[in-house]
Structure 1
Amino acid sequence: MSIRTKAMVWGAALLLLMLGAGLYAYGKLEPSRHFRQTEIPVLATPDTAGADAAGNGSAAGPLTAKAGAGVAAKVDSGGSTGGSGSAGSIGSTGSIAPGSIGPAGSVGSAGNAGSAGNLGSAGFHGPGTSAKGSSQRPQPAGFNILILGTDARDREASRTDVIMLAHVDPEQPLVNLVSIPRDTRVPLSGIGYTKINHAHALGELHGDTRSGTKSAVQAVSNLCSCTINYYIKTDFEGFEHFIDTLGGLDVHLDAPVKLTYAYMTLPAGKNHLSGAEALDLVRERKSLPGGDSGRQANQAMVLKEIIRSVIQPKNLKNLPSLIEQVREDVLDTNLRDADLISLAWLAKDLKEDQFRYAQLPGQSGKAWDPLVKNELYYWVPDAPAWEKLAKELLQ
């Protein structure tokens, strides 16, 4: 066999090998195929078992006594919803009855969200695992990913400053993102009605950061009356470092944004942000006309731009190293590497109308908080409005 013939044979073999690898990757990682073949974990389902205990408003117990002081020290009693309290006082006993927060009255309880390491009947499971008795295969309607951003500090229990629920449908494809105000008023077992971002801190005080994740996951599942399949949790430092790894982030602002604590103003139009500037933007509330509502919108916008940046050709070729960086910068997630690659693949092909954003409907109000022993401003969910919205975004 001549050298030329051998070269042609080896070239053909290499081409077939590359084609086979491509077909294998398509069969395994293409989103609609990947998540259809993957066992979708079930981390939490709505837990109504603790409705009576959680609905007492100021239920006393060892959790309140032990955790109250630690969490109270981290709470801004002035409130952070940006609301004026025009909705009126909710009342010290709480006028929101158990079952009125979630759609069709099916949520009513935070279940065991506030208790150490207890996620209720759903349990908490690692990558690629699922709850006992739960479906082992994804349904056509897709799955839900909870995104948490914590204000983690050394030697302190951390609250969730960012809470977003993403519904992903690989078949459509589409991604629906719902922002949940950190001040949303929910019942936590053994506590009563308090802010949803306290769930994570309470869990940490009774265990570790994983216990905090469990509590936050269950609290959101109860609030939204939905199953949580995946979660991603990061802190300020990890978020900032990942943005810098991407080479910064391009965002478009409709109006100038004053960054209160950075002592600078981002102009309207296109801005290229460093990790520190992006962090200041997603945390900014005081200078925004909509207060916390404006902050949530900026958080969703930044998340969208991060996805766009990751799937740019210059970054796609470095996807393996980016995934490794994600593992370093993200505190905790049950998404596997193959899941992350498949999600990046899905995001690459999304059109503008296939990425939708909404905020948890409700109104601001003021009420007594049994955890911090003070009146706080809350975001009070509008149950009928959420039921309607959930049918559009989570199904």
Structure 2
Amino acid sequence: MTEQTNSGGTGGRRRRAPLLITGVLALLVLGGAGFGYASYRELDANIEGVDINAQLGPQRPADVDDGSLDILVLGSDSRSGDNDAYGRDEGGARSDTAMVVHVHEGHKKASVVSIPRDTLIERPDCTDAHGTDVPGRRRAMFNTAYEVGGPACAVKTVEAMSGIRMDHYIEVDFTGFKRLIDELGGVEITTTEPIRDDKSHLDLAPGTHTLDGERSLGLVRTRKSVGDGSDLGRIQLQQAFMKAFVEQVKDVGVLTSPAKLLGLADAATKAITPDSDLDSVQELASFARGLSGIGAQNVHMITLPIAYDRIDPNRVVPLERQSGQVWKALKDDLPVPAAATEGTATGAADGVVR
């Protein structure tokens, strides 16, 4: 099964929610405590927002005001050619990581659905940031939506798949994420099996390792050397790594060092591209504080129910009935039923990293 509940920990320490959004924005919450005006201006200048609402227009799912939130979080290689060193695909920037984060009413629990980049979907007609029409396509890989139409097309594709309006969009650039890890001083992980991948420059024996930014980025982009070599195994690695990353942020004690805090906040704001409603430090910090009450025991993470495609075994397709159960649960602000993920394809990499 792909279903995972991210709870537990060692030594009685409470793990926080292992989300890209929480890990990055936690730094901005800290930044809200003690920076002067000049620092705020500097950090605000790092943030490049994207106006999703203007690009998509009114033809979207209904904006339901029930106290819940839906956020599309993408990890991309869009900003820097440095990402080529980690196995970037030919043809332009793509989204390697995609998660729909549903924050339930009351903001005390969340459901997270990871969408494999290799999922074959019906991509809708889109308009890119330059106003150019991009025709839709059947049996398109999910991550091509971002490649051909940018963030707005990625959002439109998720909304078409799910029938759920995305309240926010946050993109995390991989190279920026690498710099953030280096500012943090590395992330400690434990591997239970060897991970050797020439494309991502990894050679990890079983045991405990402190990964710098370069090796951390290599790990979250590794796929061929874990599990069945599919994107599903990579998703499991990413989920495990994010747990370790957030734990490291929580324990680093940045409040004791203003210089350390500023360096982390600078790296974080350079690593993300939010929607235009979150394109300032103040807005991001306020948003993150609204999510700070979500404990790890109240985060339910799954992978979209899929099966390997019968025509192309290197691709996956959503299972219509089970996927429908997932999206209906989120739309109704209910927990995802366990039956939705029973018997679906997995990456067989669960437990390789902890």
Do they superpose with TM above 0.5?
Answer: yes
- C-alpha spacing 1:269/1:244, structure 2 compared with 1 (3 Å): same
SS in 2 for 1:121: coil
SS in 1 for 2:309: strand
Identity of aligned residues (%): 27
Gaps of 5+ in 2: 1-32, 34-49, 82-89, 126-134, 334-354
Contact 1:147 1:166 in 2 (8 A): yes
**Match in the other structure for 1:239:** 177
**Match in the other structure for 1:364:** 308
Contact 1:311 1:347 in 2 (8 A): no
Contact 2:309 2:315 in 1 (8 A): yes
SS in 2 for 1:311: helix
- C-alpha spacing 1:156/1:272, structure 2 compared with 1 (3 Å): same
Contact 1:42 1:134 in 2 (8 A): no
Shift of 1:288: 1.1
**Match in the other structure for 2:318:** 381
TM-score by length of 2: 0.63
Shift of 1:122: 4.5
Shift of 1:352: 3.2
Paired amino acid for 2:98: I
1:86-136 deviations in Å (ceiling 9; x for gaps):
xxxxxxxxxxxxxxxxxxxxxxxxxxxxxxx9535357xxxxxxx9x846x
- Mapped to 1, the partners of 2:274 and 2:292 lie a distance apart of 24
- Mapped to 1, the partners of 2:275 and 2:264 lie a distance apart of 15
Paired amino acid for 2:144: H
Shift of 1:389: 2.8
**Match in the other structure for 2:208:** 270
Shift of 1:381: 0.2
1:175-196 deviations in Å (ceiling 9; x for gaps):
3221101011111233332111
Paired amino acid for 1:281: L
Paired amino acid for 2:244: E
- The root-mean-square deviation of aligned C-alpha atoms, in Å, is 3.4
**Match in the other structure for 1:162:** 97
**Match in the other structure for 1:280:** 218
**Match in the other structure for 2:267:** 325
Shift of 1:170: 6.8
- Mapped to 1, the partners of 2:317 and 2:211 lie a distance apart of 33
Paired amino acid for 2:320: A
- Mapped to 2, the partners of 1:393 and 1:272 lie a distance apart of 36
Contact 1:281 1:298 in 2 (8 A): yes
- Mapped to 2, the partners of 1:346 and 1:254 lie a distance apart of 36
**Match in the other structure for 1:143:** 69
Instruction: State which of 288, 294, 297 in structure 1 corresponds to 2:233.
Output: 294
- Mapped to 1, the partners of 2:272 and 2:117 lie a distance apart of 20
Name which one, 1 or 2, has greater alpha-carbon Rg.
Answer: 1
Contact 1:173 1:350 in 2 (8 A): yes
- Mapped to 1, the partners of 2:51 and 2:320 lie a distance apart of 24
5 Å-filtered alignment, 1:175-254, equals: 175-188=110-123, 189=125, 190=135, 191-203=137-149, 212-254=150-192
**Match in the other structure for 2:327:** 390
5 Å-filtered alignment, 1:17-28, equals: none
- C-alpha spacing 1:329/1:351, structure 2 compared with 1 (3 Å): closer
- Mapped to 2, the partners of 1:387 and 1:364 lie a distance apart of 18
Contact 2:201 2:218 in 1 (8 A): no
- C-alpha spacing 1:338/1:270, structure 2 compared with 1 (3 Å): farther
- Mapped to 2, the partners of 1:315 and 1:260 lie a distance apart of 34
**Match in the other structure for 2:298:** 354
Shift of 1:163: 1.1
Instruction: State which of 174, 180, 190 in structure 1 corresponds to 2:109.
Output: 174
Paired amino acid for 2:237: N
1:271-300 deviations in Å (ceiling 9; x for gaps):
211111111111111111233211001112
Equivalenced residues, count: 259
